[in-house]
């Protein structure tokens, strides 16, 4: 059987013609993928040989506002400190835990530094509210040297703590004080501190409002507060708020905004501090009230099923609490509970959440005469009346 020879196909020829037509586009595509021509390579080499620093463009003098800001920061920086707090491990095999950081500023020439009370509390570590202060406090000065510090005065209602810093007094430069009652909305403000642990940071803004009322970390109202739009971030707490004359006008305390960052900032006014701080230095706390009992540590109270109120851990003999018949927690030699202590539910009709809140209530409005508590004992609620006393030497651990 004879077969006819196949006709030559024109398809290969057509493909060759198309390839020739699109060859420039293919070369361009290869070049855009990183391949360069010899002419482009020569241009790069010429540019390399001529590389040198660019000349600095002259500028006009700094604006007066800029000069003032740099002056305020330069003068105040030496007075602003960085505070770190540590909780010692209960077990020697465990590591000590960092409780938090914050800012503070030198108050006087006697080694006193002022900061927020919540800066030195351990709520960040123990997760049970601001019930205790850190075991170790370190204060780092502007020159980078760190010194031990001790809380010697505290006000829960104003969120103010006074530290005694054991540093050479000639290294501690107090800030000049302004007067917050003379402030006007629109005045320039400068916030100085150590946000996120960063060394001495300056932000600026204005007085946005005056006589605000905010809640402290303990939940009580702080009145007469300065509102500012100067950025206040975590770590700024306890740092100074300055006016354009370089004077202290407030202490940066809190911020309201997304994630508590870069929102509306608030500062405790300097007039309040100038009244409270000297009392804290002299007395340790404001008009201390002595009832003569100790509140059980919240973690232990929760383990016993107490979620609200204050369980009484110990009662001093011949104290207002003892004379009122308040009953403490009783344990056997092995540490087992023999009898639960009284649980204080209300103070003068106000519900009690924990011992810190009770202390705060006593500090904000120091009672005179008799006070009434609603108390749970043996599953029943009754009222107990105590006659308060003011000791000559305040006791930190006692309510």
Is 17 in a helix, a strand, or coil? helix
Q: What is the DSSP string of 23-91?
A: HHHHHHHHHHTT---HHHHHHHHHHHHT--PPPPPP-PPPPHHHHHHHHHHHHHHTTEEEEEEEE--SS
Q: Where are the alpha helices (DSSP H) in the chain?
A: 11-32, 38-49, 64-77, 123-126, 270-283, 298-303, 320-323, 355-364
Cβ atoms 290, 324 nearer than 8 A: no
Is 326 in a helix, a strand, or coil? coil
Q: What is the pLDDT along the chain (399 residues), one digit of tens a residue?
A: 444 544 455 555 555 445 555 544 444 444 455 688 999 999 999 999 989 999 999 999 999 999 999 999 999 999 999 998 776 544 444 444 445 688 999 999 999 999 998 888 865 434 444 446 777 889 999 999 999 999 999 888 788 999 999 999 999 999 999 999 899 999 999 999 887 767 788 999 999 999 888 876 656 678 789 999 998 877 788 999 999 999 999 999 876 655 544 568 899 999 999 989 999 999 888 876 788 898 887 778 888 888 889 999 999 999 999 999 999 999 888 888 888 899 999 999 889 887 767 877 787 677 778 899 999 998 899 999 998 876 545 444 445
> In whole angstroms, what is the distance from residue 120 CA to residue 340 CA?
31
Backbone angles phi, psi at 221, to 5 degrees: -85, 135
> In whole angstroms, what is the distance from residue 23 CA to residue 32 CA?
14
> In whole angstroms, what is the distance from residue 335 CA to residue 304 CA?
13
pTM score of the predicted model: 0.65
Query: What confidence score (pLDDT) does residue 123 get?
Result: 55
What residue ranges define each of the domains in the chain, with the CATH number in brackets?
A: 70-171 (2.40.10.10), 180-274 (2.40.10.10), 293-387 (2.30.42.10)
Under the phi-then-psi rule, with left for phi > 0, alpha for psi from -120 to 50, and beta for the rest, what region is 379? left
Query: What confidence score (pLDDT) does residue 200 get?
Result: 87
169 C-beta neighbours (distance < 10 Å), count: 12
> In whole angstroms, what is the distance from residue 136 CA to residue 307 CA?
29
Is 285 in a helix, a strand, or coil? coil
Query: What confidence score (pLDDT) does residue 219 get?
Result: 61
Query: What confidence score (pLDDT) does residue 336 get?
Result: 86
Kindly report each contact of residues 96-102 with a partner whose C-beta sits within 8 Å and lies 24 or more positions away, as own/partner.
96/135, 96/136, 97/125, 98/125, 99/124, 99/125, 99/134, 100/124, 100/125, 100/134, 101/194, 101/197, 101/235, 102/193, 102/194, 102/235, 102/236, 102/237, 102/238, 102/239
> In whole angstroms, what is the distance from residue 324 CA to residue 63 CA?
68
Query: What confidence score (pLDDT) does residue 398 get?
Result: 45
Cβ atoms 188, 64 nearer than 8 A: no
Q: Write out the catalytic residue numbers.
A: 118, 159, 237
């Amino acid at each position: 059987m004879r077969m006819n020879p196949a006709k030559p196909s024109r398809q290969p020829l057509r493909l060759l013609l198309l390839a020739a037509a699109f060859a420039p586009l293919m070369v361009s595509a290869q070049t855009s993928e990183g391949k360069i021509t010899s002419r482009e390579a020569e241009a790069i080499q010429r540019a390399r040989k001529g590389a040198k620093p660019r000349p600095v463009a002259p500028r006009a003098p700094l604006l007066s506002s800029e000069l003032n800001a740099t002056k305020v920061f330069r003068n105040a920086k030496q007075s602003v400190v960085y505070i770190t707090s540590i909780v010692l491990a209960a077990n020697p095999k465990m590591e000590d835990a960092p409780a938090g950081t914050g800012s503070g500023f030198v108050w006087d020439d006697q080694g006193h530094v002022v900061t927020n009370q919540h800066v030195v509390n351990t709520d960040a570590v123990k997760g049970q509210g601001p019930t205790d202060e850190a075991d170790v406090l370190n204060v780092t000065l502007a020159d980078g040297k760190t010194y031990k510090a001790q809380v010697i005065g505290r006000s829960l209602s104003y969120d103010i703590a006074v530290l005694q810093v054991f540093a050479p007094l000639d290294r501690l430069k107090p800030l000049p004080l302004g007067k917050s009652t003379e402030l006007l909305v629109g005045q320039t403000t400068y916030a100085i501190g150590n946000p996120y642990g960063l060394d001495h940071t300056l932000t600026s803004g204005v007085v946005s409002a005056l006589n605000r009322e905010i809640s402290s970390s303990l939940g009580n109202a702080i009145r007469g507060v300065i509102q500012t739009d100067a950025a206040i971030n975590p770590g700024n707490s306890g740092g100074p708020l300055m006016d354009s004359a370089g004077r202290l006008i407030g202490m940066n305390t809190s911020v309201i905004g997304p994630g508590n960052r870069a929102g509306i900032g608030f500062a405790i006014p300097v007039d309040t501090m100038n009244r409270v701080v000297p009392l804290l230095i002299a007395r340790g706390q404001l008009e201390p009230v002595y009832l003569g009992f100790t509140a059980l540590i919240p973690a232990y109270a929760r383990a016993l099923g107490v979620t609200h109120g204050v369980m009484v851990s110990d009662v001093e003999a011949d104290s207002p609490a003892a004379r009122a018949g308040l009953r403490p927690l009783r344990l056997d030699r092995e540490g087992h509970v023999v009898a639960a202590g009284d649980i204080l539910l209300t103070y003068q009709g106000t519900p009690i959440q924990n011992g810190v809140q009770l202390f705060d209530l006593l500090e904000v409005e120091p009672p005179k005469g008799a006070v009434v508590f609603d108390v749970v004992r043996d599953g029943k609620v009754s009222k107990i009346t105590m006659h308060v006393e003011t000791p000559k030497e305040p006791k930190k651990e006692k309510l």
